[in-house]
Each structure stands twice: as C-alpha cells, then as structure tokens.
C-alpha cells in the first residue's frame, strides 16, 4: 500500500550534515573538526545543509526512516516491541519511496548556540542551518502483510512527537525537529 504524506514542523528543524571536510579531519586524527571551522556564521552553517541534485535543501529519506524505526520502541507487537535497541521489524514492512525529501519553504536562518564536546567537556559555538517553518512530502510504502495502515500512522505520529528530525531533537534531549502529519492519503 502506498500512502502520500505531508509533514509539517511543530518546532524548528536544525540540520547538521557531516561534511566531507569534517570527515577528512576526523580520519586524519586532528582536533580541528571538533573545534569547528573559521569564518562567518552563515559560511559555517551552509555546508551543513543537505542539498538535492538541484541544490535545494532536503532531508535524506534514511533520516526520516530512522525516526520511524525508533518510534517502534513505543509500540508493542504481542509481548515485544516493534523496535528494540538492536533489532526492528519496521524496515521489513515500511519504506520511503523517495531518496530525498525537499524542505519547503527552503528559507533558513543561522542557529548559533554553544555545544558541549563530549570528549573534552569543553564548549564551542556551533552555527547550523535552522528552518523555522518547514514541510516535507513523501510516499510511504507499507507491506500490509506485516503492518496495517493504523500501525504505520501510529509510527509516523510517534516519530514526530517523540523522536524528531535533525540536531537537538527530542531523541537527543532537545526541543527541535518535531513534526505532525498534515495529510495522509492512500494512493
């Protein structure tokens, strides 16, 4: 069963793509990746956007899929949960058709706040893209032999309420990246 869904943010979305430059610095073992880049805040935030082939801001579908899978920890199937820390039944029965989900509107601001570096306990300023108003449209493919439409809807609703998307989301003890379902239509 295919379901066309529109999600809208109930709290701002903060993106923080792991850039190629940060990956090279981490692989080389330097602490520059942890300290952060130099430059103006917008110059530091822009590379942290996820961009599609047309250079428009998007969310990779695996990010939303992870939120849906993690929402399975709140739903019981018989005596066990749909998802645990090690395993999940959700990816076997639910998938997102599109590889990338465009963020609309695409206007973003720079979110500047101090963050704690876990390894050192020190603080640095992080500059990341923040979408104050945002929507995503996607097609969910649900295997009805595994899950009925009600369970799929419950997973998406819980993903928006309790897991979230992006940085500093509810699953990471933050208030950002929460969303709700605005439209849910079987196609």
pLDDT at 106: 94
Q: What is the pLDDT of residues 61-111, one digit of tens each?
A: 999 999 999 999 999 888 888 988 888 999 999 999 999 999 999 999 999
How far is residue 12's CA from residue 71's CA, in Å, rounded to a whole number? 20
Other residues' Cβ atoms within 10 Å of the Cβ of residue 29: 7
Maximal C-alpha separation, the chain: 54
Mean pLDDT computed over 11-31: 77
Tokens of 131: 């979408």
On the question of pLDDT at 30 being above 60, the answer is no
The dihedral through the CA atoms of 119, 167, 35, 115 has a sign that is negative
Tell me the CA distances in angstroms from 114 to 64, 123, 126, 178, one per residue in order.
26, 6, 6, 21
When pLDDT is cut at 50, 70 and 90, the band that residue 183 belongs to is very high
pLDDT at 36: 52
How far is residue 49's CA from residue 46's CA, in Å, rounded to a whole number? 6
Mean pLDDT computed over 27-39: 58
Q: What is the pLDDT of residues 128-171, one digit of tens each?
A: 999 999 999 999 999 999 999 999 999 999 999 999 999 999 99
DSSP assignment of 11-80 equals S-EE-----HHHHHHHHHT-SHHHH---S-HHHHHGGGS-B-TTS-BEEEHHHHHHHHHHHGGG-EETTE
Mean pLDDT computed over 24-35: 58
Q: What is the pLDDT of residues 44-66, one digit of tens each?
A: 999 999 999 999 999 999 999 99
Strand partners, 186: 3
- Indicate the domain borders of the chain: 2-186
pLDDT at 113: 95
How far is residue 21's CA from residue 54's CA, in Å, rounded to a whole number? 21
């Amino acid at each position: 069963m295919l379901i066309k869904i529109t999600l809208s943010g109930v709290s701002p979305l903060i993106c923080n793509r792991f850039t190629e430059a940060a990956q090279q610095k981490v692989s080389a073992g330097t602490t520059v990746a942890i300290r952060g880049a130099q430059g103006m805040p917008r110059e530091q935030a822009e590379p942290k956007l996820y961009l599609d082939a047309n250079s428009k801001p998007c969310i990779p579908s695996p990010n939303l899929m992870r939120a849906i899978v993690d929402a399975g920890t709140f739903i019981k199937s018989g005596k066990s949960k749909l998802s645990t820390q090690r395993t999940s039944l959700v990816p076997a029965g639910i998938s997102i058709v599109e590889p990338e989900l465009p963020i609309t509107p695409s206007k973003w601001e720079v979110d500047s706040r101090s963050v704690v570096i876990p390894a050192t306990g020190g603080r640095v300023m992080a500059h990341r893209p923040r979408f104050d108003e945002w929507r995503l449209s996607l097609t969910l493919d649900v295997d009805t032999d595994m899950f009925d439409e009600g369970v799929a809807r419950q997973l998406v609703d819980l993903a928006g309420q309790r897991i979230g998307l992006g940085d500093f989301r509810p699953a990471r003890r933050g208030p950002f990246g929460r969303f709700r379902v605005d439209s849910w239509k079987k196609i």
